Amino acid sequence: MRVASEIFDSEARLSWVLAVLAGVLGATAYTHSDGYFVTFMTGNAQRAVLGYFRADVVLAVTAGVLLLCFVAGVVVASMCRRRFWSTHPHGPIVLTTWSLLAATVLDIIDEGWEETNLDFPPIMLVVFGVGALNTSFVKDGEVSVPLSYVTGTLVKMGQGIERHIAGGKAAEWLGYFLLLASFVVGAALGGCISLVVNGTWMLVVATLVCALTTAFTYFHTDRRAPLD
């Protein structure tokens, strides 16, 4: 059972910031690409299969590749977390920042500063970064806060609402609602940004936001014990 102090502690506040970032990244791809998903892996899994039924092999293959990129981001971030960031539990954000920076540089080299829609290679790097981002909160070796997995957040929020109705407290679901709201705010913020800048500059903005968040989290004194 969650208590109010856990809902509004520093870890929770950081999760809101990172959920906003995930929402911005999702908006970047949705508004400035050919419909690629960078946060919605359920959608990519369906596309990887159903694309063949629609005689759209490109759709199926690209969706499958994005799934692999996401998993690769999780695996690499987890390995780095264990070997290099044992005293920095939120170290995977560093990998997300580098992934976004690489995506931005690749996009600029390929199309310059005036590209409206992002090509597939930068999208692959963004998905890799989102996979890494989702390993930012780990407890007992498992992800405790899935930043871009909205379906799971909704399920947990629904269960919390039921517990509240059964005699529990609002704290049972409020934390999940705030995480969901943060993601939605990030998507809305990304949508607003997309109205005034192109795809390349959206990557620049997302990279800067992620870099600032990384600097705050990485250099902030972390009192958690090193990983086993």
pLDDT given at position 98: 93
Answer for the pair 198, 74: CB distance below 8 angstroms, yes or no.
no
Residue 226 lies in a domain: no
- Considering only residues 192 and 228, tell me which one the structure prediction assigns the higher pLDDT: 192
Tell me how far apart the alpha carbons of residues 144 and 54 are, in angstroms, rounded to a whole number: 37
Tell me how far apart the alpha carbons of residues 179 and 87 are, in angstroms, rounded to a whole number: 25
Residue 38 lies in a domain: yes
Residue 30 lies in a domain: yes
Q: Amino acid letter at 123?
A: I
Residue 192 lies in a domain: yes
Residue 228 lies in a domain: no
End-to-end CA distance of the chain: 26
Domain that holds residue 128: 4-219
* Tally of structural domains, the chain: 1
pLDDT given at position 219: 67
pLDDT given at position 224: 47
Instruction: Read off the pLDDT of each residue in 185-195 and give the average, rounded to a whole number.
Output: 91
- This prediction has a pTM of 0.87
pLDDT given at position 73: 95
pLDDT given at position 2: 56
Residue 157 lies in a domain: yes
Residue 125 lies in a domain: yes
Which CATH number is 189's domain given? 1.20.1250
Tell me how far apart the alpha carbons of residues 135 and 185 are, in angstroms, rounded to a whole number: 21
Instruction: Read off the pLDDT of each residue in 48-76 and give the average, rounded to a whole number.
Output: 92
Residue 23 lies in a domain: yes
pLDDT tens, position by position, 215-227: 877 665 444 444 4
